[in-house]
Chain A
Amino acid sequence: MLQMSWLIPLFPLLSFILLLLFRKSVKESTAWIGVLLTWLSLVLSIGVFLAVWHGGGIKVEGTWFQLGKKMITMGYEVNPLNALMLVIVSLVSFLVHIYSKGYMHGDERFPVFFAYLGLFSFAMLGLVLSPNLLQLYMFWELVGLGSFLLIGFYYFKPEAKAAAKKAFIMTRIGDVGLFIGMVLLFWQAGSFEYDEIFASIKNGEIAQNMLTLTAVCIFVGAVGKSGQLPLHTWLPDAMEGPTPVSALIHAATMVAAGVYLVATMYPLFQASHTALTIVAVVGGVTAIFAASVGLMQKDIKRVLAYSTVSQLGYMMLSLGASGYVAGVFHLTTHAFFKALLFLAAGSVIHAVHTQNIEEMGGLWKKLKLTGPLFLIGALAISGVPLLSGFFSKDEILASTYADGKYGLFWLAVIAAFMTAFYMFRLFFLVFTGEPRSTEHSNVKNVHESPSVMTFPMIVLGLLAIVAGYVNTSWFGTFLTDYLAQGPVDLSHAEHHTPVWIPFVATGVALLGILLAYLIYQKKTISRDWLTRVLPSLSDAVYNKWYVDEGYDQTVVKGTRGLSKLGVLFDRYVVEGLVSAVTASVRSLSKFGSRMQDGQVQSYGTFAIFGIVLLLLIVALTGGYFS
């Protein structure tokens, strides 16, 4: 089974190629090609996962090309971490393929959509299987391409165009960080291979400053991909893409690639305390920042997007606080419940044809399946006990506390409160109360989505409930034991945490839900008290803390200004120099032609002066032969 793991990414690639070639002839039945091929990937992934569970592992590499004496290799590697990722990615991809069959029904470019999904799945699975940084980087960029194509799938919409461009460029900024980190590491360790890099770190062949520098550079790549703080703005905008895409790429897989990168390179980060602290701080600040923005958004998908940013912040925080297992655990559970939430949101959008939550309401009775499933997702993400999110979030809080990062711990607790609040604000506004139909939407006549869409949601709903039990202190820490087989040293991860942490986590979650209930269901607290009390704060939150505007004013304007300056320089200085040269040549030639006056006498005069000059030179220099 393990020897066949290289086939896993190739099935979606095959799907991509087939669908692009035959897109005209197969029409909507293309969906089944995509579904079938991703199903094969899924089956293989599960097989590989089981093999690894029983202690297997494989690494196969061959020379890609030769650079001087160094061989640059390509290949595939299966270890506990990436086997887990394989299952998550191929499972979500498979479910999203099925879901899209219903969601994209009737779209003119239906086959193209599935082709792009195939391309993305190929890149993501390839990324996960990579045994070295270079290969990871290549797939990393291809994943970005898939995301770009799918965000811009509605190419005629100006917002989608802008969002796709923004996503590509913002993540590219991060990618350059990764690129620099990778190249620097190559010259330090002499290889792109994870194993060799880790070996030379272990042997202390790399200076401490260099370790920190490379770790931070690589983290910049993760920041770009995972929508962490300074580079997060593309992720909410990416919601312009079709909703299944948001579920697959911008909730479960690609954005988690940043977390996966940090987890894969964990020995590097462990070697530098500074780098770990940076990861933790960025993660923690992002978690609370994005959660605060999520409080006031009106677009159902944007709320979920900010929630994703916030949860990714949690994972980073956990990794930064030495909570390797907790980070990976949360990545797993989050993939399920966030994909579920997005698919449910897609189902809602499919039914009411709007994304504005102010225009929904009272959908609980009409969407008999979507409603409860959304509730499961919301409960899971809020950290209500017994659902998956509770366990993973609890572990993150515990490891943060155990690592002594108390400030970040309390930030994370507040963020957990906000998470519960905005998720249930969403739930109450969408599913309860009176339908608030407007001219844009038809909240009155809605129907439940077809079973091809509800089936994936049900699967994800089940997983969102049970996924948490893979790593609990009650039944056993299967995940910890499993990951301990990997290359990361988890020995010092054992820690004793105060028993009150789960209670605090549960308490703030329930408090958040209660507050949302009071405001949006009971309406005992006025909805806009914050707007009245602190208008500037609520404005800032509503406008996402003006980050986009800030970037527009500084980076975008700066680049544009520099570019204009460059154009002016090109036009006036460079071209000016050229015209100065031509002008001087022209005036010289005018002078020359003026000397050609037709007078033999003046010609003679010039000739004489010329001879005199030459003779003078010879007399002064002494000529060639002396």
Chain B
Amino acid sequence: MSSVPLTAYLMLALILFCIGLFGALTKRNAVIVLISIELMLNAVNINLVAFAKYSLFPGLKGQIFALFTITVAAAEAAVGLAILIALYRNRQTVNVDEMDTMKR
């Protein structure tokens, strides 16, 4: 177990986060964007858990935070999908490009 160093976890989280970020910023489909955000949250979870184990004072705080995050992420996904469905009902699209009401 302990043969896997901290940097490996952090690298994994970094890669996951970047993939998520890339997806969130570039994908046109709102569902994919939501999934990408989940990906970033999970990257954060990995970091939290990794630091909980490898920090100067190992403990459970990080893992507890990860549980919180998962809960929040689930709630967020639910709300996000609900908004998405409401939007789809109104505008018949989930394409992010067309959602530029902020400009108007």
Contact = CB atoms under 8 A, between A and B. Distances in A.
B104 A601 contact: no
B55 to A, nearest CB: 22
Contacts of A598: 100-104
Nearest to B103: A598
Contact of A600 (B26, B96, B104): B96
B24 A604 contact: yes
A598 to B, nearest CB: 3
A597 B21 CA distance: 20
Contacts of B101: 598
A598 B97 CA distance: 9
Nearest to B97: A599
Contacts of A608: 21, 25
Contacts of B24: 601, 604
A171 B100 CA distance: 76
Interface residues of A, number: 9
Q: Which of A597, A598, A608 has the most CB of B within 10 A?
A: A598
Interface string A587-609: 00000000011111100110010
B96 A601 contact: yes
Interface in A511-533: none
A604 B102 CA distance: 14
B9 to A, nearest CB: 21
B6 to A, nearest CB: 20
A596 B25 contact: no
Contacts of B96: 599-601
Nearest to A605: B25
Contacts of B99: 600
Interface residues of B, number: 13
A599 to B, nearest CB: 6
Nearest to A601: B25
Contacts of B25: 601, 604-605, 608
A596 B97 CA distance: 13
B99 to A, nearest CB: 8
A597 B100 contact: yes
A604 B33 CA distance: 12
Contacts of B100: 597-599
A601 B26 contact: yes
Contacts of A599: 96-97, 100, 103
Interface in A574-626: 596-601, 604-605, 608
Name the residue in A596, A597, A599 with the highest tally of chain B Cβ atoms < 10 Å from its Cβ: A599
Nearest to A603: B102
Interface string B12-54: 0000000001001110000001000000000000000000000
A65 B64 CA distance: 87
A476 B101 CA distance: 113
A597 B97 CA distance: 10
Interface in B82-104: 96-97, 99-104
Given A601-B26, A601-B96, A596 B21 contact: no
B86 to A, nearest CB: 17
Nearest to A599: B100
Interface string B52-92: 00000000000000000000000000000000000000000
A600 B100 CA distance: 8
A594 to B, nearest CB: 11
Contacts of A605: 25
A599 B33 CA distance: 13
A556 to B, nearest CB: 63
Contacts of A596: 103
B74 to A, nearest CB: 22
A601 B26 CA distance: 7
Contacts of A600: 96, 99, 102
B79 to A, nearest CB: 16
A605 B100 CA distance: 15
Contacts of A597: 100, 103
A463 B40 CA distance: 116
Nearest to B100: A598
A614 to B, nearest CB: 16
A359 to B, nearest CB: 88
Interface string A100-142: 0000000000000000000000000000000000000000000
Nearest to B33: A601
A601 B23 CA distance: 10
A596 B101 CA distance: 11
A604 B25 CA distance: 7
Interface of B: 21, 24-26, 33, 96-97, 99-104
24 contacts: A596-B103, A597-B100, A597-B103, A598-B100, A598-B101, A598-B102, A598-B103, A598-B104, A599-B96, A599-B97, A599-B100, A599-B103, A600-B96, A600-B99, A600-B102, A601-B24, A601-B25, A601-B26, A601-B33, A601-B96, A604-B24, A604-B25, A605-B25, A608-B25
Given A601-B25, A604-B25, A605-B25, 15 more contacts: A596-B103, A597-B103, A598-B102, A599-B96, A599-B97, A599-B103, A600-B96, A600-B99, A600-B102, A601-B24, A601-B26, A601-B33, A601-B96, A604-B24, A608-B25
Closest 10 CB pairs of A and B: A598-B103, A598-B100, A598-B102, A601-B25, A605-B25, A604-B25, A599-B100, A597-B103, A601-B96, A597-B100
